[in-house]
Structure 1
Amino acid sequence: MRVAVIGAKGIPPKQGGIEHYCAEIYPRMVSQGHTVDLFARTSYTENTGWQSNYYRGVQVISVPGLDYTGVDAFVTSAMGAIAATRQQYDIIHFHALGPALFTCIPRLANSAKIVVTCHGLDWQRAKWGSLSTKVIQLGEQTAVRFAHSMIVVSKALQTYFWQTYQRNTVYIPTAPADYGESDPNFVYGRHLGLETGRYILFLGRLVPEKRPDLLVDAFCRLQPQGWKLVLAGGVSDTKGFTSQLLEKIAHQKNIVFAGELRGSRLWEIVRGAGLFVLPSDLEGLPLSMLEAMREGIPVLGSDIAPHQQLLAEERGILFKAGNLDSCVSALDWALHNPEKLPTMVKKAQKYVSLNYSWDRITSETLRLYTQVLHPCEITDKLQTETTEGDLAKLGAKNR
């Protein structure tokens, strides 16, 4: 198959769940003999317009855009969609609802099959103004209308699209990124003034919907003796919020702002944490939480639907989203009941290993591509298998 990818900023990934997602599944597709072209942003790849390079077999084509917050994504997605119509792709795969606004272009212009993956309801994010929010909502509606198939990364999103549009979607989750080796001596962590197992970690972009401010308030109220709080993450398009947050913690000696971490430093700080907390009001399916669960870190999360999916059945601790008292109570319980955390950790690790695998996600995505390209063949095969199965049952019954 020949596949075009639109909506990712680029690969190799620097930040962002979609970029990490694409960096995992598309090289795997290439290794199985498929061709993948990913239309990226020049602002992310630092290449000139329409220059291309390869990442693990995936051709990354840099699309020129406009250096304005929010506008760059739409311009590059539109230009990518137009460019994709000029090639003979089998599948054109859009990631995120904003870029999906342009699914109509290839759907009307050529015979390629259109697939959209919704990683989250982006129009709910605080960084967007009213106009951008409406445009992203229009992208959602356009995807529902023009996509041959839609993928969602959480069961909550699957429910949303059915209840809102009566649109069937395919649930294919994300998976945690593969961690490499990290410093067993914890040198970088000690440089930050940390002690292994004695700090609470927030990992994610410092944006309002992830609620790092709620966690800061809970930590300051609780003031757990011998513990520190680490905020690790990059700044998005909400610099005012980030500035206020950093000003708030500037004189808190037990709160450490580590900035955006990558590679071995990231792995070291995650593995050294005593608790991982994600107090978000909005998520698709959080990769950082999956990574913490897989690495054996006890996890606390707000009780939004994606977190419930991951932490149910005593795989983690849930507290009421947006509720400071509930967050304080959950933190206090976790810090004073360490003997109960190992059982929770083992359940979480087993759950992640059984349900979230990049090889499995790649296989399921390729299977979906095949179904979209050859719906009649798949239907005939299923009917044949069903008929053969019924005949076998009937023969066994007669015997």
Structure 2
Amino acid sequence: MKIALLGTVGVPGRYGGFETLAENFVHYHADSGRDATLTVWCSSRGKVDRPTRFKSAALRYIGLEANGMQSILYDALSLLDAVRTRHDRIVLLGVSGAMMLPLIRLISRARIVTNIDGIEWKREKWNGPVRAFLRASEWAAVRFSHAVIADNQAIADHVRAAYGSNSYVIAYGGDQAVADGAVGEAPAGLPERYALALCRIEPENNVRMILEAFAGIDEPLVFVGNWDSSAYGRNLRARYSNRAKLHLLDPVYEPGALHSLRARASVYVHGHSAGGTNPSLVEMMHFGVPVLAHGCAFNRHSTEGKARYFETSEELVAQARGLAPEDAAEIGAAMQDIAARRYTWDKIGKAYFELLDRV
């Protein structure tokens, strides 16, 4: 079996959830000693070094950005190259290149497994034409893949309702956030304990709602995100950065510093209302910290209904103020138990490779 892994910036992962998935897919392949060969397609943009291997995987490069509008052509060229190099299992992460799948099915006998990610076309940031394209791409991914992976039961429910198709629910691991025990220095000037939020600064992550809630209560909030990447983020930072209890930090990537930042949190606030199973949430669950999450179906499935939920800033204020120490300890223990049962990379890797064997 020759496996092609497509749809990410590449490995090792330094960008987002799919890149972390790709890296841990390679780790599982290397550690499990499987006979299958593995190739990962990577973006060469902005890279000085272009190694040809990462652990057990061969690396191939496409000279385009893997995200944004270029991702459509990036994924299409990756698919064609995977077929040209006679890979017989293709794992496609995301639907950007899915409109190419009808052609791939015509010219190749490769079996295609697509992780459709979240319901991308519903995100607020997209305009009408982009939404229409993403919705068509989702349809193509479901229609022309041999198997579809949903990272959350709510996504699987959507696929069944919209297309009458079943999918395989395989989430993400998060144990790498605590596995290596790396401890570094958290950013200076923070209180000893605080509520923590960590996400991309986008409307569907309800950033404004979280800031409004914590601006009116005594508990300090540390909010980590890419504030300067959009007018939305810059405006929010300008409006709320002068509040003494609000600490708005730029992204923290260094593993030791990120570990220390998470370990000092007394509660985790998760505002995502789109997508599916969110990697930052399942990573945080491994720390045994109580979670206050937006009450969408995705988050309720991810936390098995055992977190506390909000849908307005007023509800978030009530949840934060009403979280007694004994309740916080119980919720934190439940989050850690769920993470250990469902969100480890060993379990996720095994599920992917069993599906590739079956398909």
Aligned in 2, Cα 1:327/1:278: closer, same or farther, shift over 3 Å? same
Which of the residues 134, 139, 142 maps onto 2:137? Answer: 139
Query: Does residue 57 of the first structure (1) align with residue 56 of the second (2)?
Result: yes
Describe the SS at the equivalent of 1:282: coil
Describe the SS at the equivalent of 1:276: strand
1:203 counterpart residue number: 198
Amino acid at match of 1:289: L
1:244 counterpart residue number: 235
For normalisation by structure 2, the TM-score amounts to 0.92
Aligned in 2, Cα 1:228/1:114: closer, same or farther, shift over 3 Å? same
Count residues in correspondence.
Answer: 354
Query: Does residue 46 of the first structure (1) align with residue 47 of the second (2)?
Result: yes
Moved more, 290-299 or 123-132: 123-132
1:15 counterpart residue number: 15
Describe the SS at the equivalent of 2:272: coil
Deviations 1:106-155 (A, max 9, x none): 22211111110122111122333322222211111111111011111110
- Alignment check: 8 A CA contact 1:70 1:132 kept: no
Whole-Å separation in 1 of the counterparts to 2:98 and 2:175: 25
Query: Does residue 330 of the first structure (1) align with residue 291 of the second (2)?
Result: no
Whole-Å separation in 2 of the counterparts to 1:368 and 1:188: 40
Which of the residues 325, 328, 336 maps onto 1:341? Answer: 328
Whole-Å separation in 2 of the counterparts to 1:192 and 1:14: 26
Which of the residues 102, 105, 115 maps onto 1:104? Answer: 102
Whole-Å separation in 2 of the counterparts to 1:152 and 1:261: 28
- Alignment check: 8 A CA contact 1:152 1:171 kept: yes
State the superposition RMSD in angstroms.
2.0
Residue 60 of structure 1, CA deviation: 2.6
Q: How does 1:1-399 map to 2 (within 5 A)?
A: 1-31=1-31, 32-33=33-34, 34-43=36-45, 46-47=47-48, 52-65=51-64, 70-178=68-176, 179=178, 180-183=180-183, 187-189=185-187, 191-195=188-192, 198-222=193-217, 224=218, 227-234=219-226, 239-262=230-253, 263-313=255-305, 315-320=306-311, 323-334=312-323, 337-372=324-359
Residue 102 of structure 1, CA deviation: 2.3
- Alignment check: 8 A CA contact 1:101 1:136 kept: no
Whole-Å separation in 1 of the counterparts to 2:355 and 2:119: 22
For normalisation by structure 1, the TM-score amounts to 0.83
Deviations 1:193-252 (A, max 9, x none): 221xx2111111111111111100000122x1xx3211112369x611111121122212
Aligned in 2, Cα 1:2/1:30: closer, same or farther, shift over 3 Å? farther
Q: Which has the higher helix share?
A: 1
Whole-Å separation in 1 of the counterparts to 2:346 and 2:136: 33
- Alignment check: 8 A CA contact 2:185 2:256 kept: no
- Alignment check: 8 A CA contact 1:93 1:114 kept: yes
Describe the SS at the equivalent of 2:113: strand
Residue 164 of structure 1, CA deviation: 0.5
Residue 267 of structure 1, CA deviation: 0.7
Point out where structure 2 has 5 or more consecutive residues left out of the alignment: none
- Alignment check: 8 A CA contact 2:120 2:275 kept: no
Whole-Å separation in 1 of the counterparts to 2:335 and 2:345: 17
Describe the SS at the equivalent of 1:103: helix
User: Percent identity over the alignment?
Assistant: 21
Describe the SS at the equivalent of 1:150: strand
Amino acid at match of 2:272: S
- Alignment check: 8 A CA contact 2:289 2:335 kept: no
Whole-Å separation in 2 of the counterparts to 1:235 and 1:55: 32
Residue 22 of structure 1, CA deviation: 1.1
Whole-Å separation in 2 of the counterparts to 1:30 and 1:107: 29
Whole-Å separation in 1 of the counterparts to 2:227 and 2:82: 31
- Alignment check: 8 A CA contact 1:205 1:233 kept: yes
Q: Where has structure 1 moved over 3 Å in runs of 4 or more?
A: none
Point out where structure 1 has 5 or more consecutive residues left out of the alignment: 373-399
Whole-Å separation in 2 of the counterparts to 1:145 and 1:309: 25
